[in-house]
Amino acid sequence: MPSWDPQHYLAYADERGRPFIDLLARVGATAPRRVVDLGCGPGNMTRLLAERWPAAEVIGVDSSSDMIERARTDQPDLSWVQADVREWREPADVLISNAMLQWVPDHLDLLPAIAALATEWLAFQVPANFGEPSHTIPIELAASGEYAEHTASVELPGSHAALDYLDVLRADFEVDAWTTTYLHVLRGADAVFDWVSGTGMRPILQALPAELRERFVTEVKARLRVAYPASDGVVVMPFQRVFVVGRRR
């Protein structure tokens, strides 16, 4: 998988943090012993789990060494493990995963195995904006002309409808699933590019050779500016997300 840049990712920490808080608000656990954050990224949100349940052992898990290193540096008092969710087998009273499963191909098939690790509560959130211009513009451009041969085998994130997740989990969990569209108000004419280049667009950018990447970036920025016009230096980016919270029956 292409590498992550924790600093770039944290540029929109406030906007990216809001769904984590909204997700957590629906988890009713009172005294969990072990809480695991799967795909914890730089660990800034995992900190909220330790604040909510101070007596719990809180473990952040991520496959990216850069992310785990950043988490370890910023939050040395929590536990951090570099591991792939596809191989993670440790049970937890509360299992949280914020904005990670979209990176795992066929994650709907993997969901029963992940859910089996949650002894009381399972809660996850995935972006559901892959049909928006913020994603379709770079994807369509990457599939055209000279870019195509470099990007053909790039794996991009994806997610399912809330109902699909609910259907997988409903036999074992009381499920609370919903979608929310946030209207992110971002500063700067290229703010949408800055946002997606730190997450969903990374695999495409990293697949392109440097000289093509520069041209690609210029073209994508120009198209995104048309799709998300700035007014007084501010751009509004609608962003839909799917939330699923399950309490084991």
- CA pair distance 230, 236, nearest whole angstrom: 8
Q: Containing H/E element for 243? A: strand 234-248
Residue 45 or 235 with smaller CB distance to ligand SAM:
45
Sole binder of ligand SAM in the list 59, 67, 201, 242 (CB under 6 A): 67
Q: Which stretch binds ligand SAM (CB under 6 A): 69-77, 94-102, 130-138, 185-193?
A: 94-102
- CA pair distance 241, 180, nearest whole angstrom: 5
Strand bridging mode 234-248 / 173-187: antiparallel
Q: Which stretch binds ligand SAM (CB under 6 A): 100-108, 179-187, 223-231, 233-241?
A: 100-108
Question: Residue written as tokens 């904006």?
Answer: 129
Task: Kindly give, in sequence order, each residue whose CB lies less than 8 Å from that of residue 120, ignoring residues fewer than 6 positions away.
Answer: 29, 32, 93, 94, 247, 248
Instruction: Output the smallest distance, CB 99 to ligand SAM, in A.
Output: 4
Within residues 17-46, the interface with ligand SAM by CB under 6 A covers 20, 39-41, 45
Within residues 101-130, the interface with ligand SAM by CB under 6 A covers 103-104
Residue 108 or 212 with smaller CB distance to ligand SAM:
108
Residue 13 or 148 with smaller CB distance to ligand SAM:
13
DSSP string, 85-144: TTT----EEEEEEES-GGGSTTHHHHHHHHHTTEEEEEEEEEE--TTSHHHHHHHHHHTS
246 counts as binding ligand SAM under rule CB under 6 A: no
Q: Is there a contact between 63 and 83 (Cβ–Cβ < 8 Å)? A: yes
Sole binder of ligand SAM in the list 36, 58, 64, 121 (CB under 6 A): 64
Give residue 16's identity as a one-letter amino acid code. R
Which residue lies nearest ligand SAM, judged by its C-beta? 41
Instruction: Output the smallest distance, CB 57 to ligand SAM, in A.
Output: 18
Question: Within a 10 A sphere around the Cβ of 137, how many other Cβ atoms?
Answer: 23
Q: What is the size of the binding site for ligand SAM (CB under 6 A)?
A: 20
Sole binder of ligand SAM in the list 49, 59, 62, 92 (CB under 6 A): 62
Binding site for ligand SAM (CB under 6 A): 4, 16, 20, 39-41, 45, 62-64, 67, 84-86, 98-100, 103-104, 199
